[in-house]
Amino acid sequence: MKRYQFWLVIGTQHLYGSDIFETIEQRGKTMAKTLSKAVQPFAEVSFKTLLKTSDEIEALFKEANHNDEVAGVITWMHTFSPSKMWIRGLKQMQKPMLHLHTQFNETIPWDEIDMDFMNLNQAAHGDREHGHIHTRMKTARKVVSGYYKDESVLEKIRKWTRSAAGVLESKHLNIIRIGDNMRNVAVTEGDKVSAEMMFGWSVNTFGSGEIANRVKAVTQNELREQMDKYKKRYEIDTENIEAVEYQAKLQIAIRHLLREHGAKGFTTTFEDLHGLRQLPGLAAQDLMAEGYGFAAEGDWKTSALLRIIKLMANGGGKGSSFMEDYTYHFENGEGYVLGSHMLEICPSIASNKPKIKVEPLGIGGKEDPARAVFEAKEGKAVQVSIVDLGGRFRMIVSDCEALTPFKSMPNLPVAAAMWKLKPNFSTATESWIHAGGAHHTVMSYDLDAEVLRNFAEMMDIEFVHINQDTDVNTLKQTMNMQDVYYRLKGFGQ
Q: Would you tell me which residues interact with Mn ion (CB under 5 A)?
A: 296-297, 324
Single-letter amino acid code for the residue at 52: K
State the minimum distance, in angstroms, from the CB of residue 246 to Mn ion: 22
State the minimum distance, in angstroms, from the CB of residue 280 to Mn ion: 14
CB 391 within 8 A of CB 487: yes
Q: Give the DSSP letter string of 316-334.
A: --S-EEEEEEEEEEEETTE
Q: How far apart are CA 357 and CA 443, in angstroms?
A: 23
Q: How far apart are CA 265 and CA 292, in angstroms?
A: 5
Within 86-202, where are the H helices? Answer: 87-92, 115-120, 123-137, 151-171, 192-198
Q: Between 73 and 279, name the residue whose CB sits nearer to Mn ion.
A: 279
Dihedral sign of CA atoms 481, 194, 187, 412 in order: negative
Q: Between 60 and 361, name the residue whose CB sits nearer to Mn ion.
A: 361
- Neighbouring residues of 7: CB distance < 8 A, sequence distance ≥ 6: 45, 46, 47, 48, 64, 70, 72, 73, 74
Q: How far apart are CA 212 and CA 370, in angstroms?
A: 17
Exposed, middle or buried: residue 217 (CB in 10 Å: 0-12, 13-18, 19+)?
A: exposed
CB 472 within 8 A of CB 430: yes
State the minimum distance, in angstroms, from the CB of residue 284 to Mn ion: 12
β pairing state of 97-101 and 70-77? parallel
State the minimum distance, in angstroms, from the CB of residue 129 to Mn ion: 51
State the minimum distance, in angstroms, from the CB of residue 477 to Mn ion: 31
Q: How far apart are CA 268 and CA 283, in angstroms?
A: 11
Q: Between 51 and 304, name the residue whose CB sits nearer to Mn ion.
A: 304
State the minimum distance, in angstroms, from the CB of residue 305 to Mn ion: 14
Q: Give the DSSP letter string of 212-264.
A: HHHHHT--HHHHHHHHHHHHHHSEE--S-HHHHHHHHHHHHHHHHHHHHTT-S
Q: Between 271 and 448, name the residue whose CB sits nearer to Mn ion.
A: 271
State the minimum distance, in angstroms, from the CB of residue 440 to Mn ion: 6
State the minimum distance, in angstroms, from the CB of residue 388 to Mn ion: 17
State the minimum distance, in angstroms, from the CB of residue 10 to Mn ion: 50
Q: Between 100 and 295, name the residue whose CB sits nearer to Mn ion.
A: 295
Q: Between 85 and 287, name the residue whose CB sits nearer to Mn ion.
A: 287
Q: How far apart are CA 57 and CA 88, in angstroms?
A: 8
CB 293 within 8 A of CB 264: yes
Burial 179-199 (b: 16+ CB within 10 A, else e): bbbbeeeebbbbebebbeebb
State the minimum distance, in angstroms, from the CB of residue 458 to Mn ion: 29
Measured from the Cβ of residue 295, the count of other Cβ atoms closer than 10 Å reads 32
